């Protein structure tokens, strides 16, 4: 399952813009895979003469890349569509056309309903069919309202253009690379197996070629993405079976690729070779997002997670034995149907036992079509809210303690982008924390040795060690 992030818009292109070029505004909701997909859509549209804009009013095409993971995420789409309908009308009054497209997981799950409820929408396109975007837009231009969610046979990665060099440069020194999509785990709360389909792994050669292109464009850190990234499997050069650990080994052979991360993992797919990779590969950052969702064995069973808390704790001990400085992150759901106070206390106890550097936590949200939606004993909203508050307070305390413990340490910092203050840059610590440091803009992309001097609520402060 992918980790939730803040809403982003596509960055404007570096290309010179003229009034003749068509402009696309992409709004991304949800996880990192949607961020990756939005960039790939922008790249696919570039071949059609589109450049990205971050001004929605200027766009000839507005694409919403949507998330269906919780009810609130899906609702956001319909309210955004209401606002877009008004903008489309206003622009039509001024003689300017604007197409509206809905992509992503809401498109896949509710395509027909979107077309019915939102007449201003011209195009609905699912996450596996982005390579057909230029052709779908031609159909829209011919007056059709297009629903493009049927993906039974085609592989989008074979048809989507590779990351564009100039755009990659503009996007920065870190990049996402999707290596796996879909999920066969069927956790009873989750829509992903229905929206993203069953597990598919991209072939080694395709991944290595894309990673090389990214590095050639100046990328120093790649995060491999997958809803179940550690379920990735492939075939090596001599026909042998590969798991994610083997793929990580192969990627470290790319000169100039200094850092690797991967997300999101399922505890059942952490195999020995992947654990060994944490011991053997200095490029693999000591940070692991390994969701458990609940600390109650009864609830884990009802969620169909197919492991116990004891197995999870033992697994973490093995990974930490391989990489002692590893920091953990996780996801939690409170108020799954049937969760009692005692179950919830078990979750708090598990968090105390494991100790997280960072974690994401959510109130259970009923998703139509998932087995959880049919369970009785739904937990009242006010109970969920109270539990979430307690859990988040504990997780925040652990996050702050982790940050405080970093003070005084000397670490390698990848300098990513300008900071808020002049003369300041922001980088990421090995444990994915934002770190502010005084440094020159020409150093973006460098990995420098810094000493952590302080910790704020959302970031650390450091000084370069000469
Ligand atoms: N309700 C609440 N949270 C959910 N997640 C997935 N499905 C639901 C749901 N129905 C959470 C899980 C997952 C994260 C990305 O979103 O914790 O790991
Ligand atoms: Fe992750 Fe479970 Fe959803 Fe699969 S079904 S994406 S393992 S939460």
Residue ranges covered by each domain of the chain: 5-156, 165-285, 410-464
pLDDT in tens, 217-243: 999 999 999 999 999 999 998 999 999
Cβ–ligand 1 distance for 291 under 6 Å, the answer yes
Is residue 466 very low, low, confident or very high in pLDDT (cuts 50, 70, 90)? Answer: confident
pLDDT in tens, 183-199: 999 999 999 999 999 99
pLDDT higher than threshold 50 for residue 8: no
pLDDT higher than threshold 60 for residue 1: no
C-alpha 357/C-alpha 322 separation (Å) is: 18
C-alpha 99/C-alpha 17 separation (Å) is: 19
**DSSP SS3 for 63:** strand
pLDDT higher than threshold 90 for residue 159: no
pLDDT value of residue 157? 80
pTM, whole model, 2 decimals? Answer: 0.94
**DSSP SS3 for 201:** strand
C-alpha 104/C-alpha 67 separation (Å) is: 6
Express as a percent the part of the chain with pLDDT over 70. Answer: 95
CA of 352 to the centre of ligand 1 (A): 21
Which ligand sits nearest to residue 290's alpha carbon? 1
Pick the atom of ligand 1 nearest to 365's CA: 1
Cβ–ligand 1 distance for 156 under 6 Å, the answer no
Of 266, 305, 306, which is best to mutate to test ligand 2, by the most ligand atoms within 8 angstroms of its C-beta?
266
pLDDT higher than threshold 50 for residue 252: yes
Q: Which long-range contacts (CB under 8 A, 24 or more apart) does 424-432 make?
A: 426/459, 428/174, 428/221, 429/460, 430/285, 430/286, 430/287, 430/325, 431/285, 431/286, 431/287, 431/327, 431/357, 431/402, 431/406, 432/261, 432/285, 432/287, 432/327, 432/329, 432/358
Which ligand sits nearest to residue 184's alpha carbon? 2
Mean of the per-residue pLDDT values of the chain: 93
Of 33, 70, 71, 362, which is best to mutate to test ligand 1, by the most ligand atoms within 8 angstroms of its C-beta?
362
Which ligand sits nearest to residue 363's alpha carbon? 1
Cβ–ligand 1 distance for 323 under 6 Å, the answer no
Nearest CA to ligand 1 atom 7: 190
pLDDT in tens, 335-383: 999 999 999 999 999 999 999 999 999 999 999 999 999 998 999 999 9
CA of 247 to the centre of ligand 1 (A): 28
The neighbouring-strand residues paired with 177 are 224
Domain range 5-156, CATH class: alpha beta
Q: What's the rounded mean pLDDT across residues 98-117? A: 96
pLDDT higher than threshold 90 for residue 155: no
Any idea which fold 410-464 has?
Answer: OB fold (Dihydrolipoamide Acetyltransferase, E2P) (2.40.50)
pLDDT value of residue 20? 63
Of 193, 197, 230, 306, which is best to mutate to test ligand 2, by the most ligand atoms within 8 angstroms of its C-beta?
193
pLDDT in tens, 75-92: 999 999 999 999 999 999
Is residue 12 very low, low, confident or very high in pLDDT (cuts 50, 70, 90)? Answer: very low
CA of 362 to the centre of ligand 1 (A): 7
pLDDT higher than threshold 90 for residue 287: yes
Pick the atom of ligand 1 nearest to 189's CA: 10
Of 2, 127, 192, which is best to mutate to test ligand 2, by the most ligand atoms within 8 angstroms of its C-beta?
192
Cβ–ligand 1 distance for 68 under 6 Å, the answer no
Find which of 152-156, 196-200, 433-437 is predicted with most confidence, using mean pLDDT. 433-437
C-alpha 338/C-alpha 378 separation (Å) is: 6
Q: What's the rounded mean pLDDT across residues 318-324? A: 98
Of 186, 331, 335, 359, which is best to mutate to test ligand 1, by the most ligand atoms within 8 angstroms of its C-beta?
331
Helices (DSSP H) in 14-147: which residue ranges? 32-46, 71-93, 104-117, 133-141
Cβ–ligand 1 distance for 290 under 6 Å, the answer no
Domain range 165-285, CATH class: alpha beta
CA of 3 to the centre of ligand 1 (A): 9
C-alpha 303/C-alpha 312 separation (Å) is: 15
Query: How is residue 421 written in tokens?
Result: 């203050």
C-alpha 343/C-alpha 348 separation (Å) is: 9
pLDDT higher than threshold 80 for residue 153: no
pLDDT higher than threshold 70 for residue 16: no
Q: What's the rounded mean pLDDT across residues 106-125? A: 96
Query: Would the CATH topology of 5-156 be identical to that of 410-464?
Result: no
How many Å is the Cα radius of gyration of the chain? Answer: 22
Burial (0-12, 13-18, 19+ Cβ within 10 Å), 330: buried
Q: What's the rounded mean pLDDT across residues 34-47? A: 93
pLDDT higher than threshold 80 for residue 17: no
Express as a percent the part of the chain with pLDDT over 90. Answer: 87
pLDDT value of residue 306? 97
Is residue 164 very low, low, confident or very high in pLDDT (cuts 50, 70, 90)? Answer: confident
pLDDT value of residue 430? 97
- Residues in contact with ligand 2 by the CB-under-6-Å rule are 1, 183, 185-187, 190, 192-193, 227-228, 266
Pick the atom of ligand 2 nearest to 184's CA: 4
């Amino acid at each position: 399952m992918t980790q939730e992030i803040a809403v982003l818009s596509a960055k404007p292109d570096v290309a010179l813009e003229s009034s003749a070029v068509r402009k696309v505004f992409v709004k991304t909701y949800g996880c990192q895979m949607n961020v990756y997909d939005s960039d790939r859509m922008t790249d696919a549209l570039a071949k059609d003469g589109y450049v990205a804009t971050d001004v929605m009013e200027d766009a000839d095409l507005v694409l919403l890349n949507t998330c269906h993971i919780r009810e609130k995420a899906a609702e956001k789409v319909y309210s955004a569509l209401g606002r877009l309908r008004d903008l489309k009308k206003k622009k039509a009054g001024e003689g300017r056309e604007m197409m509206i497209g809905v992509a992503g997981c809401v498109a896949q799950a509710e395509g027909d309903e979107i077309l019915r409820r939102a007449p201003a929408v011209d195009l609905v396109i699912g996450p596996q069919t982005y390579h057909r975007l230029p052709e779908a837009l031609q159909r829209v231009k011919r007056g059709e309202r297009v629903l493009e969610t049927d993906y039974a046979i085609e592989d989008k990665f074979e048809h989507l253009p590779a990351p564009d060099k100039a755009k990659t440069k503009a996007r920065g020194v870190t990049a996402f690379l999707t290596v796996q999509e879909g999920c066969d785990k069927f956790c009873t709360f989750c829509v992903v197996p229905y929206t993203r389909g069953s597990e598919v792994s991209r072939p080694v050669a395709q991944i290595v070629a894309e990673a090389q292109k990214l590095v050639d464009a100046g990328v120093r850190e790649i995060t491999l993405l997958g809803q179940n990234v550690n379920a990735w499997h492939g075939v090596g050069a001599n026909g042998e079976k590969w798991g994610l650990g083997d793929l990580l080994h192969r990627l470290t052979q790319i000169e100039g690729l200094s850092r690797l991360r991967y997300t999101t993992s399922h505890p059942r797919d952490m195999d020995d070779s992947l654990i060994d990779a944490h011991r053997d590969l200095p490029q693999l950052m000591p940070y692991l997002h390994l969701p458990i969702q609940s600390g109650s064995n009864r609830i884990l069973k009802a969620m169909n997670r197919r492991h116990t808390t004891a197995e999870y704790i033992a697994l973490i001990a093995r990974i930490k034995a391989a990489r002692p400085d590893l920091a953990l992150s996780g996801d939690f759901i409170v108020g799954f149907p049937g969760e009692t106070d005692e179950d919830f206390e078990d979750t708090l106890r598990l968090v105390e036992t494991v100790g997280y550097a960072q974690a994401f936590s959510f109130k259970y949200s009923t998703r139509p079509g998932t087995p959880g939606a049919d369970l009785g004993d739904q937990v009242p909203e006010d109970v969920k809210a109270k539990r979430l508050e307690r859990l988040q307070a504990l997780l925040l305390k652990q996050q702050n303690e982790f940050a405080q413990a970093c003070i005084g340490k000397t670490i390698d910092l990848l300098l990513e982008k300008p900071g808020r203050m002049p003369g300041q840059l922001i980088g990421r610590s090995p444990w994915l924390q934002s770190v502010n440091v005084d440094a020159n803009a020409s150093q973006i992309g460098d990995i420098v040795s810094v000493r952590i001097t302080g910790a704020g609520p959302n970031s650390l402060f450091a000084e370069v060690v000469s």
